[in-house]
Structure 1
Amino acid sequence: MKKWISFPKSAGEYSKQAHCDLPAGTYEREMGKEGFFGPACHFHHRHPPTGWASFEGPLHPHAFDLNELAVTSPSPWDAHLLFSNNDARIRFWQCQDAMTHLARNADGDELLFIHEGAGDLYCDWGHMSYRDGDYIVLPRGTMWRLAPTSPTELLLVEATQSSYQLPEKGMVGPHAIFDPAVLETPQINDAFRAQQGDQTWQVKVKRAGQMSTITYPFNPLDTTGWHGDLVACKVNWRDIRPLMSHRYHLPPSAHTTFVARNFVICTFAPRPIESDPGALKVPFYHNNDDYDELIFYHRGNFFSRDNIKPGMVTLHPNGFTHGPHPKAFEAGMKATRTETDEVAVMIDSRFPLEINEAAHTVEWPGYVDSWKPKK
């Protein structure tokens, strides 16, 4: 258990409650430890903490338009590698046709987030359909393939040398956010049995970053039954019921969907906006001092961002102070909206994410200037 140098103190003019009833004419900035879980201090500033006139150096934020990526081949191993570190590999893949081989990741669990499209997934445990907005968790070593019924675009997040787990939900109980009962698992059904046979199949396996191909004179997805407590599963964002407080803007960590070694995955789903007159209506300004924050924008109008559309990604490196764009902050102060309609996937990484070449080719270089005060 950590013993922080932590004791409540205060000075000057300040609010009694974080993110609420700010002193008139001030802007709140949170500086904390452990990504909203550790001790924190809330500063009140006369000017927006993001109101810079210029920004130079490698700390600046990034935005990428994945809609501009070239179409890849029908194999997840050819997906665009966008961001990576020792704990995660984040790829983007366009799968238009049924895979003609099986994939198997021996380096870690694989998470698929379906951005567009629909179809069928076949794996060791059986068959299940998928649609846009699905998260599909494939345990390390799973053999799998997709057979799209409509062109599919998806984010793939490898938990390198680790596993995906559900977050601890504490005092709100295990059925909050989403009940584990909504998790769907593959079935040994007619569709699964129909694809079995003695045709030649290849399994392309990634191990330690290197590829191997194993050829069988039959389809190795020939399971006739199984039992145990390790299984592929899926959940759709539409089944997620966000934690809410009408009097207090909750931190992103309240929306955690999965946890892995040194990173978490959070889901921002539609919810009512805070209604209390004194509560912030948009995300608070804060420092990313312990985590890189990467957000993939899936659907809707992103109420804290300007000029961001579905299929884009933003990356805020740790150490970078950020918060809502000026237009979003003004709209929030005027309480012009009563609910959000955004859907986004956030990956908070304890260690810096490397930006790979594929991401650089679709970067929006002007993103850092989008916080500048409008003249």
Structure 2
Amino acid sequence: MAVIKMINAMCSNLMNSALTYFSGFGNEFASQDPRCPDALPLGQNNPQHCPYGLYAEQISGTAFTAPRHENKRSWLYRIYPSVIHRPFTRCKPGALTHNWGQNPPNPNQMRWLPFSIPSADDKVDFSEGLHTICGAGDPMTRSGIAVHIFLCNTSMENKCFYNSDGDFLIVPQQGSLAITTEFGKMEVDINEICVIQQGMKFSVNVKGPTRGYILEVFDNHFQLPNLGPIGANGLANPRDFQTPVAWYEDREVQNFQVISKYQGHLFRAEQDHSPFDVVAWHGNYVPYKYNLANFMVINAVKFDHCDPSIFTVLTCPSSKVGTAIADFVIFPPRWSVQEHTFRPPYYHRNCMSEFMGLIHGNYEAKEEGFLPGGASLHSIMTPHGPDTQCYEGASNDELRPARVAYGTQAFMFESSLSLAVTLWGELTCEKLDSNYYKCWQTLKKHFDPAWRPQTH
């Protein structure tokens, strides 16, 4: 047993120092830990006797009868089946919730200052540091989304988490995430994202104070947006998505905690082995990560400001064509070259909800007040747009080619749903900026009824 533990530790250190990944989005992958060659069964999924005495287990991300181009599932070959655990009990209620009726509706423009990370003497891991800020819908009917903030400062030890309600799109803002999944290991750095799909067990290790954002979708899984007349290439290219390769640990451990998010609540079960014991796997239902620096930017090169949909990285479509349950949109570094154009984002009233976060830098439309680690929410049909400083500057600047957002990465979770803000989001966190509305109050009237077009 001591020799096995030593070998596992050595392999763990090796894998952490040089992680490798598969390339591609939505592919059929097959992987086996190199310590166990030929662990994948040949020619079938569920043989009478699996290699190495492993158990075969399928995880389904769609119904068995979903169309082939949408069907998501993977086969895992593991030391113990997932069913070996003691009964779940409900965890103490925290700031994670899907109770959208606990707080009165508020149509105002909202902006949050950076959310506070727990102090060093208050140890909080990823699963304990989930705080719901807004959302809509119901995981019980598999329809809706939730937006969470995670605030933590310590690693998950002998503990894993899985989400029965939907997929997590995770955006780290401060501190990188070392994530162990049933499929292998991922290192998710600042300016990268990852997606952990419904039901997949994972554990998050951190190196200190850590903060970030999560978009959770109940309906479906994230897809790449259609490119239409853009053509075959552009935006987030499939080859730049990375999926971990198989890695396992054969570790007996007393009272390993399994945290399940189920119907908007957290539950805890215990078992006496690590769940990261998958020696081999194959399928197309996998976790993955993406580096936002690889996004191929499309932009206007003559005049006008394109709609932000050109910056969509991933989308979760609804049943209504062209309308998303949720889009993940970024505002990356790029060149701005438009002629006779107001270049920043235009003033807008939208039939969609717009939740924005800032990973680093200064967002072009509001360089003051919108800070890294903070957020904003502009609800359905609530007016929003550039503040006074941005408007006056962009209206009078010489229109030369300019680099925009260099050193900055802002993003948006956009949804067709009307999002309710939680009690934690509006009151308990104490980060809501009550002065946000003032950034527009000094906009001046420029109307001149005597204006006439210039003659040439």
TM range (shorter): 0.7 to 0.9
**Pair 1:267-2:336 in alignment:** no
Distance 2:116 2:152 in 1: 15
Q: Name the CA distance, whole Å, in 1 between partners of 2:353 and 2:364.
A: 21
Shift of 1:69: 5.8
| Aligned position for 1:27 | none
* Distance in 1 between residues matched to 2:118 and 2:207, nearest whole Å: 21
* Corresponding position of 1:199: 253
* Aligned CA distance change for structure 1 residues 264 and 325 (closer, same or farther; 3 Å): same
Question: 2:416 matched to 1:350?
Answer: yes
SS at match of 1:253: helix
- Look up the match of 1:63: 111
Which residue of the partner structure matches residue 339 of structure 1? Answer: 403
Secondary structure at 1:76 match in 2 = coil
Name the counterpart of 2:186: 128
Segments of 5+ residues of structure 1 without an aligned counterpart are 1-56
The answer (yes or no) to whether the contact 2:151–2:210 under 8 Å persists in 1 is yes
What SS does structure 2 have at the residue aligned with 1:91?
A: strand
Other-structure match for 1:367: 436
Quote the residue 2:150 is aligned against: 93
Q: CA offset at residue 322 of structure 1?
A: 2.1
Give 1:107's aligned residue.
165
The normalised TM-score by structure 1 is 0.78
Q: 1:221 aligns with which of 273, 276, 284?
A: 276
| 2:245 equivalent in structure 1 | 187
Asked if structure 2 preserves the Cα contact closer than 8 Å seen for 1:117 and 1:150, the reply is yes
Instruction: Map 1:122-201 onto structure 2 (within 5 A).
Output: 122-188=180-246, 192-193=247-248, 195-200=249-254, 201=256
3-state SS of the aligned residue for 1:94? strand
- Cα distance in structure 2, aligned partners of 1:322 and 1:119: 33
Superposed CA offset, 1:24-64 (max 9, x none): xxxxxxxxxxxxxxxxxxxxxxxxxxxxxxxxx94321101
> CA-to-partner distance for each residue in 1:153-202, whole Å, 9 max, x for gaps?
121121124322221111223430121101011122xxx44x54111322
Distance 1:119 1:316, change over 3 A: closer
Separation in 2, partners of 1:355, 1:346: 16
Q: Does 1:237 align with 2:312?
A: no
1:175–1:150 Cα change, 3 Å = farther
Is 1:255 aligned to residue 324 of structure 2?
A: no
1:122/1:183 CA distance change after superposition, 3 Å:
same
Q: Which residue of 1 aligns with 2:35?
A: none
* Counterpart in the other structure of 2:386: 324
Deviation at residue 134 of structure 1 after TM alignment? 1.4
Spell out, residue by residue over 1:230-281, the C-alpha distance to the aligned partner (whole angstroms, 9 max, x if none): 11100121111221122231111111111124221111111112x2331221
CA radius of gyration, larger in: 2
Match of 2:96 in 1: none
Question: Of residues 126, 139, 142 in structure 2, which corresponds to 1:75?
Answer: 126
**Which residue in 2 is equivalent to 1:312?**
374
TM-score relative to the length of structure 2: 0.65
Q: Is the contact made by 2:195 and 2:289 (CA closer than 8 Å) also made in structure 1?
A: yes
- Aligned sequence identity (%): 21
In structure 2, the residue corresponding to 1:369 is in which secondary structure?
helix
Q: One-letter code of the match for 2:352?
A: Y
Match of 2:450 in 1: none
Give the CA deviation at 1:77.
4.8
Cα drift, residue 305 of structure 1? 1.0
Counting matched residue pairs gives 313
SS in 2 for 1:241: coil
The structural deviation recorded for 1:75 is 3.4
The change in CA–CA distance for 1:132 and 1:306 in structure 2 (over 3 A counts) is closer
* Aligned residue number for residue 300 of structure 1: 361
The structure-2 alpha-carbon separation of the partners of 1:233 and 1:174, relative to structure 1 and needing over 3 Å to count, comes to: farther
Task: Name the amino acid aligned to 2:419.
Answer: L
SS of the residue corresponding to residue 272 of structure 1 reads strand
Find the residue that maps to 2:424 and give its secondary structure. helix
Q: Distance in 1 between matches of 2:236 and 2:275?
A: 34
Match of 2:50 in 1: none
Q: Using the alignment, how far apart are the partners of 2:117 and 2:108 within structure 1?
A: 22
| Matches of 1:202 and 1:65, distance apart in 2 | 34
RMSD over aligned Cα, in angstroms?
2.0
Cα distance in structure 2, aligned partners of 1:208 and 1:104: 12
Structure 2 vs 1, CA of residues 58 and 169 (structure 1 numbering), >3 Å: closer, same or farther?
Answer: same
Secondary structure at the residue paired with 1:184?
strand
Query: What SS does structure 2 have at the residue aligned with 1:181?
Result: helix
Checking the alignment, whether the CA contact within 8 Å between 1:281 and 1:335 is kept in structure 2 is no
Taking the aligned partners of 2:153 and 2:334, their CA distance within structure 1 comes to 33
Paired residue secondary structure (2:115) = helix
Matched letter for residue 421 of structure 2: I
Superposition deviation, residue 226 in structure 1: 0.9
Q: What amino acid does structure 1 have at the position aligned with 2:442?
A: P
Point out where structure 2 has 5 or more consecutive residues left out of the alignment: 1-104, 138-143, 319-324, 445-456
Distance in 1 between the 2:314 and 2:204 partners?
22
Distance 2:146 2:347 in 1: 28
Q: Distance in 2 between matches of 1:81 and 1:219?
A: 28
SS of residue in 2 equivalent to 1:282: coil
